[in-house]
Amino acid sequence: MQAPSLGTLEAIIGHLKTLPVVVPISGCNLGPVHKLDVIKATSMLMRKKEYAAILAFDVKVMPEAFDLAVEAGVKIFMADTIYELADSFTDHINKLNEDVKTQFAADTVFPCTLKILPNRVYHSKDPIVCDVEVLEGIVMVGTPICVCVPSKDRGADVVHGLGRIASMKTSNGKEVNSATKRVVSIKIIGDNPQERSRLYGFHFNADNELLSQISRKSIDVLKEYFREEMSAESWDMILGLKKQLGIP
């Protein structure tokens, strides 16, 4: 933080604490932004890049400091009102968060369990089309789906990957991207030959719940980037799915 006076610094810090995004302040200075201030900010580039930033309120940025910031990748936000400064930084954090979520979209798997409605399986092999009841969690288009089937020798359950949900419709035929605690019609398309060979009535049946096929990587992505979207119940589901799928 850079500001022209101590009173102004205190006012800005107080306002930043009310924002919906976390603004961890590592240091404060009075007066213009100098090259040394930028050098200090570069320490965050290898730790949390989004916080390699200087909030400059109603102060000048010296030319050499500006040039170094551009070269190093440090963001300098300048404004002469507290609200404008806060909004600029909030927009910066939100955009980076959205970019990260887009980057990890393929590895983002929210937990869910689904019950197959036995008399409403319309296509038993890839693409598998059936009506399901969402028992727990949230099911989304793109979610990888699997089933755990008890092995005949009473050993560990056999996990059959079925593919990803390609589309989802409500009972009135409306296309939706997600659903909770309701009946929906889903289409599952296999990603590989093994998944495309799965057959309802042979490899699995209505006694086997459909599960979101989480992985160690998908759990790590949820922990790092989607904590706000995950409830305590969702994390409890993750623990249960880890046990079922044999994930360490």
Q: Are 138 and 230 found together in one domain?
A: yes
CATH of the domain at 55: 3.40.50.10050
- Domain assignment of residue 84, given as a range: 2-103
What is the per-residue burial (b if ≥16 Cβ within 10 Å, else e) of 36-57? ebbebbeebeeeeebbbbbbbb
Q: Which of 46, 70, 103 is the last residue of a domain?
A: 103
Q: Are 117 and 78 in a shared domain?
A: no
CB atoms within 10 A of CB 102: 10
Please tell me whether residues 20 and 121 are part of one structural domain.
Answer: no
Task: Domain count for the chain, please give it.
Answer: 2
81 with 114, same domain: the answer is: no
Predicted pLDDT at 150: 82
| Whether the predicted model's global pTM rises above the 0.95 cut | no
pLDDT greater than 90 at residue 135? yes
Measure the CA–CA gap between 88 and 115, rounded to whole angstroms: 46
Mean model confidence pLDDT for the chain: 90
Q: List, for residues 45-59, the tens digit of each pLDDT value.
A: 888 888 899 999 999
Which of these three, 83, 103, 123, is where a domain ends? 103
Q: Are residues 96 and 114 in the same domain?
A: no
* 154 or 65, which is more confident: 65
Task: For residues 150 and 166, state if they share a domain.
Answer: yes
Percent with pLDDT over 70 in the chain: 98
Query: Are residues 206 and 83 located together in one domain of the fold?
Result: no
Instruction: Give yes or no for residue 154 having a pLDDT over 70.
Output: no
Closest by alpha carbon to 131, among 120, 140, 146, 147?
Answer: 120
Tell whether 126 and 218 lie within a shared domain: yes
Asked whether residue 130 falls in the same domain as residue 239, the answer is yes
Query: Which of 103, 131, 158 delimits the end of a domain?
Result: 103
Residues 201/220, Cβ–Cβ less than 8 Å: no
